[in-house]
Structure 1
Amino acid sequence: MAEALSGRRAQAARNDDAILAAAKAVFIAEPDAPIGEVARAAGVGISALYRRYASKEILLATLCLDGLRRFIAITEAAAEVSDPWESFVEFLRGIVDADVHSLTVHLAGRFTPTPEHRELAVRAGVLGDEILHRAQRSGAVRGDLESTDLPMIFEQLAAIRLGDDDQIRDLRRRYLDVHLAGLRSEAIAYGTLPGAAPTPADLGARWNRAT
C-alpha cells in the first residue's frame, strides 16, 4: 500500500512539473491562451489540471512563484563562488539561461501577487544586490551600475526569441557577453551611464493587477 501511495505521489509530482513547464511555454507564447491549452501541451486531462490549479490566475501565480524560487536557487549558488567577478558572471548567466524574466515580460499584471510572492521577491533582491555590491567593492564591476539596472538587462535578453530553442539560448548568451563587457569597471572609460536607473517602485508597479 505504501508503494502504491508513493507511486501516486510520484506521478502527481511528474504531472505538476509537466503542467508548470507547459504553462510557461504556453503563456509566454500567448498570455491570453486558455488554460485548456496548458492541459493539451502537458499531456494531462483538463480535470487533472483543475484538481491542481482551480483557475488560470492560480496557475499563473504558481508559475511565477516557481520562477522566483529558481532565481533564488541560482543566486545562492552563484554567491558561493569565491571570485567576485566570476560570482557575478555565474549569477547573470544562470538567470539568463533559466529564462525566469520571460515571466515578468509576459505575465506581470495578470494576477494578484500574494504575500509569498512579495517575500520571495525581497529575498531575491537582497541576494542579487549582495553579489553585485561585492563585485563592485572588488573593483570588477563599474560603480555606476544600480541593482535595478539588472532586471532591465535580464528582460532585454528574455525578449530574444529568434529561431529554435538552441538558437535562442545561444543568442542570449552571445548578447549577455556583450553586456558583461560593458559592465566591467574598465568600461567606465567610455563614460558614465546616462539617465537614471528605474526605481524599485517603477519595477514593482508592473505587477499591479491590470484593471
Structure 2
Amino acid sequence: MPAAPMSGRRAQAARNDELIMNAAREVFVADPTAPIAAVAERAGVGISALYRRFGSKEDMLRRLCADGLATYIRIAETALAGTDPPWDTFVTFARAVVAADTHAMTISLAGTFTPTPELMELARRCDEQVRTVIDKAHAAGVLRTDVTHTDFGLLFEQLSTVRRGSPARTAELRERYLALLLDSLRTPPQHAPLPGPPPRPGEFADRWEKGS
C-alpha cells in the first residue's frame, strides 16, 4: 500500500533533512575540514537544526558515507535485476555510478571519522553487490577477465576527480572519459565515437587563476 502522506511538520523535517545532507555533501567533499556551521549556512537552516539530527560532525560524515554506500548498492541491484544485454547492463551500471558521484566522498572523507560496525556492514554488502555485477559481465564474456571488482573502486575515484567549469561540463567530460575507459574494458573490443567535445583550450589553464 502507498505510504500515508506526511504531516506538515514531518514533511518540513524531511525537506530540511534533504537540504542538510545535500549541503553537507557539497561542503565536505570540497573541504572535509570545514566546520559543521558551514553546512548550516549552505543549507539555509539554523545550527540547532543540525544538532537535532546529528550529535557531531563525525555523525554527519558517517551518515553521508552510509547514504553513498546505499546509493551504490541500489545501482548494483538495479543492474543485476535488469534484462538488457550483458554489456548494456554493465554500461548502465557504470554510468549510474559515475553520475551519482559516490566516489568523491571516498576521496574526501576516508580517514576523517571512525566507521561504525553498521557502516562496515554496508561496505561489505556494497563490495558483494559490485563483485556480482563484475562476475556477471565476466561470465557473459563482455568484460576483459584481468580486471576485477576491486579495480573499479579506483577507476571510479579517478573519474570523480574530473571537475571543470559548470556541473554540466563536468558531467560531459566524465561521460567522455568513462566511454574511453569502457572501450578499453570491452571484449571483444568495439570502439564507438567518444561523446562530448574534448577539453577546450584554456579549460586547464584557467584553473591557475586565483579564485577559479
TM-score range, shorter chain: 0.7 to 0.9
Per-residue Cα deviation, 1:86-119 (whole angstroms, up to 9, x for no partner): 1111111111000000000000000111111111
Greater relative contact order, per chain length (Cα 8 Å cut-off, separation 6+): 1
TM superposition score normalised by structure 2: 0.84
Aligned equivalents of 1:141, 1:88: Cα separation in 2: 9
Identity of counterpart residues, as a percentage? 49
Match of 2:199 in 1: none
Per-residue Cα deviation, 1:139-163 (whole angstroms, up to 9, x for no partner): 1000111111000110000011111
Q: Which amino acid in structure 1 is aligned with residue 143 of structure 2?
A: V
Per-residue Cα deviation, 1:35-76 (whole angstroms, up to 9, x for no partner): 100001011000111111121111000000000111111111
Q: Which amino acid in structure 2 is aligned with residue 168 of structure 1?
A: T
Q: Secondary structure at the match of 1:171?
A: helix
Q: 1:170 aligns with which of 164, 169, 172?
A: 172
Q: Secondary structure at the match of 2:32?
A: coil
Q: Which amino acid in structure 2 is aligned with residue 62 of structure 1?
A: R
Match of 1:99 in 2: 101
Q: Secondary structure at the match of 1:14?
A: helix
Match of 1:72 in 2: 73
Match of 2:45 in 1: 44
- Structure 1: give runs of 5+ residues left out of the alignment: 188-211
Per-residue Cα deviation, 1:166-190 (whole angstroms, up to 9, x for no partner): 1111111110000000111235xxx
Per-residue Cα deviation, 1:116-137 (whole angstroms, up to 9, x for no partner): 1111111111111111111111
Match of 2:60 in 1: 59
- Structure 2: give runs of 5+ residues left out of the alignment: 190-212
Match of 2:209 in 1: none
Contact 1:84 1:131 in 2 (8 A): no
Match of 2:150 in 1: 148
What is the deviation of 1:78?
1.2
Q: Secondary structure at the match of 1:148?
A: helix
The alignment yields a C-alpha RMSD, in angstroms, of: 1.3
Number of equivalent positions = 184
Q: Secondary structure at the match of 2:149?
A: coil
